[in-house]
């Protein structure tokens, strides 16, 4: 059987197409890191200072108010860190994915750059940043203070995986809604502001009245924060935590969002 004369050329093209997506995503990630952090004084330092300032402020407020102990354990900084860090990780990741098309609008005109490339690059840079920040802050507290906690790593990993999955799913859906309804970003921001009070970050769900618990348990962020805290407080095993519930919401939102973005992204970018 004769081999077509252009077979080597076809194989070369096939190899280039096969590795095109990882290369494009890597290039977009480098661009994201340069434009987001490389041009700011201090760069990544500000990403660390934000949660540290929030944890220090909440610890000072509750201590000044006369509170002797946080909701769990005896150390205020680790209690608020285990609540605020996964919450911030979700909020920041969701925002990055939601604005991915706007951020990469000009680059999407190139045929090699797809919508999924832009979404994946923004998500991965944000995920790496949030995990590094969480590691630095939590490790710093554990090293500098006697927190009285016992680290169970797989609960912490699962909790942040839940936060990342939920952020990716809702972020893709919000990406579509933000282009269809220009005010959606502002509406979503207003909706997210009370989350610091109703997600268990400051006050444990277990400490609230039963009628409140029945409603707040439908908030997936409650499950995420409780799962992370299970990784620090031995014996804390809230029965309401359901990773399947969080991953299910993330999957539904992500699939619906991707389908809508794929079907309408050309029209969205032209508007």
Query: Over pLDDT 70: what percentage of the chain?
Result: 81
Number of other residues whose CB lies within 10 A of the CB of residue 136: 15
Provide the percentage of residues in the chain whose pLDDT is more than 90. 37
Predicted confidence band of residue 11 (pLDDT cuts 50, 70, 90):
very low
Quickly count: other Cβ atoms within 10 Å of residue 146's Cβ: 9
How much is the average pLDDT of 121-127?
90
Is residue 98 within 8 A of residue 185, CB to CB? The reply is yes
pTM: 0.85
User: Residue 18 — pLDDT band, cuts 50, 70, 90?
Assistant: very low
Tokens describing residue 159: 């909790």
- Kindly state the tokens that stand for 70: 């946080």
The reported pLDDT for the residue numbered 14 is: 40
CA distance linking residue 116 with residue 76, whole number of Å: 41
Backbone phi, then psi, for 121, in 5-degree steps? -65, -45
Q: How confident is the model at residue 245 (pLDDT cuts 50, 70, 90)?
A: very high
Residue 37 has pLDDT above 70, yes or no: no
- Number of residues in the chain: 271
User: Measuring CA to CA, which residue among 126, 115, 123 is closest to residue 21?
Assistant: 115
Give the Cβ contact number of residue 259 at 10 Å.
Answer: 13
Contact of 100 with 119, CB cutoff 8 Å: yes
Give the pLDDT score at 20. 54
Yes or no: say if 199 and 219 are a contact pair by the CB < 8 Å rule.
yes
- 86: nearest Cα among 44, 138, 36: 138
């Amino acid at each position: 059987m004769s081999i077509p004369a252009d077979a080597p050329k076809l194989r070369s093209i096939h190899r280039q197409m096969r590795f095109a997506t990882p290369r494009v995503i890597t290039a977009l990630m480098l661009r994201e890191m340069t434009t987001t952090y490389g041009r700011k004084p201090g760069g990544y330092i500000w990403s660390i200072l934000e949660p540290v300032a929030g944890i220090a402020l909440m610890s000072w407020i509750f201590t000044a108010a006369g509170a002797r102990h946080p909701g769990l354990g005896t150390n205020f900084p680790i209690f608020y860190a285990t609540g605020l860090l996964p919450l911030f990780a979700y909020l920041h990741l969701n925002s990055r994915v939601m604005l991915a098309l706007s951020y990469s609008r000009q680059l999407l005109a190139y045929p090699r750059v797809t919508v999924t490339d832009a979404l994946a690059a923004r998500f991965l840079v944000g995920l790496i940043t949030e995990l590094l920040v969480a590691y630095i802050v939590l490790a710093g507290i554990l090293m500098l203070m006697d927190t009285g906690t016992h680290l169970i790593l797989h609960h912490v990993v699962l909790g942040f995986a839940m936060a990342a999955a939920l952020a990716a799913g809702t972020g893709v859906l919000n990406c579509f809604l933000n282009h269809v309804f220009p005010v959606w970003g502002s509406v979503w921001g207003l909706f997210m502001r009370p989350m610091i009070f109703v997600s268990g970050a400051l006050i444990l769900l277990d400490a609230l009245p039963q009628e409140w618990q029945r409603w707040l348990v439908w908030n997936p962020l409650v499950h995420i924060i409780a799962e992370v805290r299970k990784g620090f407080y031995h014996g804390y095993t809230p029965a309401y935590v359901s990773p399947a519930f969080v991953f299910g919401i993330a999957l539904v939102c992500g699939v619906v969002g991707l389908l809508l973005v794929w079907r309408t992204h050309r029209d969205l970018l032209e508007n």
